[in-house]
Chains A and B, each alone.
Chain A
Amino acid sequence: MRLLLPLLPRRRDIVCQQAVELVTDYLEGVLSRADRRRFEAHLAGCPHCTEYLAQMRATIELTGRVTPEELTPRMQDEFIALYRQWRADHDGGRG
């Protein structure tokens, strides 16, 4: 994200500590237009908050790529037994 115009300081500019609390609302697309503008204006002038936003995105990405723990063989057997029991009941009920 790159803003072309260096924005002039305004009365309601936000500071870093506020910016980090807006990150999720920003990513969820629920900031008001004015807040989004303020947030992006802050980012344009703040490499640390830009970094912070990138880290939040990376965190989401990494969390999504965490592979689930393996099922233990015992648990897998239990689920297969559950499935077969259901199949037997299901098919039996139909027959």
Chain B
Amino acid sequence: MDAELLVRLRAGDEQAFVVLVRRHHAAMLRLASGYVPSLAVAEEVVQDTWLGVLRGLDGFEGRSSVTTWLFRILVNRARTAGTRERRSIAIGDPGRAVDQSRFDAAGAWASPPEHWVEDADDRLHAAKLAGRLRSAIDELPERQRNVVTLRDVEGLGSEEVCNVLAISESNQRVLLHRGRSRLRQVLETEFGRA
């Protein structure tokens, strides 16, 4: 747990730092990449964030979880480093959870979901599935990717995600819905192929 790592980190435990970095690095890089023009800059933002975390250790009061704190620092720095104009993009995403062609005219399933949930546990450890899911997350539109990464990969609560990304609860839900729906479709396709 991050809270325990925080205690160790404060005590000067280098290994705790490495564990924390290993745990969050990929998600941090994924998130930062959406704000800055290149991977190199994203990597700088991540490094800079960790330095900010270390420098802020003594002042961190634990009002939020360590993860939330970490990502708030990251997003702030990424915003500052970002040269891209961050317009507020309309959420009115026309995408649907499930392709329209899978329903009949009355809106009932014409091509119902393939059964795979029970297989998921057996195949969970297959590196291929994890790899497929990872690349599916990477391929999500940026805002969906940010929300899914924070909510479902990093395990933040909805309120924390809204706070980190400075978005409303309802925007967060729409983005989460689109992102998760897309990942479900990827998994269905993946299991269907097996």
Q: What is A's interface to B at a CB cutoff of 8 Å?
A: 15-18, 20-21, 23-25, 28, 30, 46, 48-49, 51-52, 54-56, 58-71, 75-76, 78-80, 82-84, 86-87, 90
Chain B residues with CB below 8 A from A52, complex form: 98, 113, 184
Give the CA-CA distance A30 to B103 in the complex, in Å. Answer: 26
Min CB gap B129→A, angstroms:
8
Decide if the interface of chain A is mainly helix, strand, loop or mixed.
helix
- List A contacts of B26 (CB < 8 A): 68-69
Residues of B within 8 A of A (CB): 12, 14, 17-18, 21-27, 47, 50-51, 54-55, 96-98, 100, 103, 106-109, 112-113, 115-117, 120, 124, 129-130, 133-134, 137, 148, 152-153, 155, 158, 173, 176-177, 180-181, 183-184, 187-188
Complex Cα spacing A65 to B120, Å: 12
Q: Which of A18, A20, A65, A69 contacts B124 (CB 8 A)?
A: A65
**What separation, in Å, do the CA atoms of A83 and B57 have in the docked complex?**
13
A68-B180 contact, Cβ under 8 Å, with A15-B107, A16-B109, A80-B18? no
Nearest 4 interchain pairs by C-beta: A15-B107, A24-B177, A17-B107, A48-B112
Could you tell me the dominant secondary structure of chain B's interface residues? Answer: helix
Q: Does B176 lie within 8 Å of A24, measured CB to CB?
A: yes
Q: Is the CB of A68 within 8 A of B23?
A: yes
30 contacts between A and B (CB under 8 A): A15-B107, A15-B108, A16-B103, A17-B100, A17-B108, A20-B181, A21-B96, A28-B158, A30-B173, A55-B117, A56-B180, A58-B117, A59-B184, A62-B120, A62-B133, A62-B187, A63-B148, A66-B130, A66-B153, A68-B25, A71-B22, A71-B25, A76-B18, A76-B22, A79-B47, A79-B50, A80-B17, A83-B17, A86-B51, A86-B54
